[in-house]
Amino acid sequence: MDALVSGEWLAAHIDDVRVVDVRWYLNGPSGRTAYEDGHIPGAVWLDIDTDLSAPATRDDGRHPMPTAEHFAAVLAGVGIGEGTPVVAYDDAGGSTAARLWWMLHVLDEPVAVLDGGLAAWPGELTTDVSSYPAVTRTPRPWPAHRFMTADAVDAFDGAIFDARTAARFAQGDPAIDPRPGHIPGAHSAPWAGNLDESGRFRTSSELRERFGDSAAVAYCGSGVTACHDLLAMHVAGLDDIALYAGSWSQWGADPARAIETGG
């Protein structure tokens, strides 16, 4: 299973994978409500805020990584055992589904994102809430080389990519960003630029041209859409990549951290 799968592939393999709906909206409707209103048959829903993150704090950011124990318990609760292939989707270009992809990918679990999201699904949707027997799953530590602290980013000599919009990279958004600007030396790489006009991921060569071939770390506002850049780097064939999960919600909240503004 590749990191990206088509709707047709998923329809043909729907009984061989566990489908996970990861819809989530910043200051918008409920992802759970969207799931209940219609989802891919057999899909379960996981929440970015509570299932795929630890509680938000000023020191750690809005979406810190959950403990290994919490993540294992979440997966076990919806019947996803070790080695179960997972296909994640959302309705926003993979911008939230990529968070689950990264979390499973770094644990060497089989996982893909539905390229094109919910709109790519060729079949009917259902309102039946899926339920699976819980399984036993042993927690596995997060691999340290796949995650960076603020201090590690500060000392990093590779490429740093910011997945927020260009406007937020330059000046921030006072509604959600603790300060304007970005991490010094970072490159603006809005996650939406990984997609073509059809809403699907660009080719590996196009993404390679975008991200280069050096070691890289990605961040965003809170460590969610940064995973979209990491997925794009993976598609481009890059492997020496890491997530700064605290992202700007952590960095910008620390007055001791230097910042830059402008494009």
Maximum Cα interatomic distance, the chain, rounded to a whole number of Å: 52
Q: How far apart are CA 206 and CA 125, in angstroms?
A: 33
Catalytic residue list contains 220: yes
Residues 6+ apart with CB under 8 A from 120: 6, 7, 114, 200
> Taken in order 9, 237, 217, 202, is the CA torsion positive or negative?
negative
Radius of gyration of the chain (CA): 18
Q: At CA 58, angle to CA 75 and CA 54, rounded to 5?
A: 5
Phi-psi sector, 113: left (phi>0), alpha (psi -120 to 50), beta: beta
Structural contact between residues 176 and 200, judged by C-beta atoms closer than 8 angstroms: no
Annotated catalytic residue within 220, 227, 236, 243 = 220
The set of catalytic residues is: 220
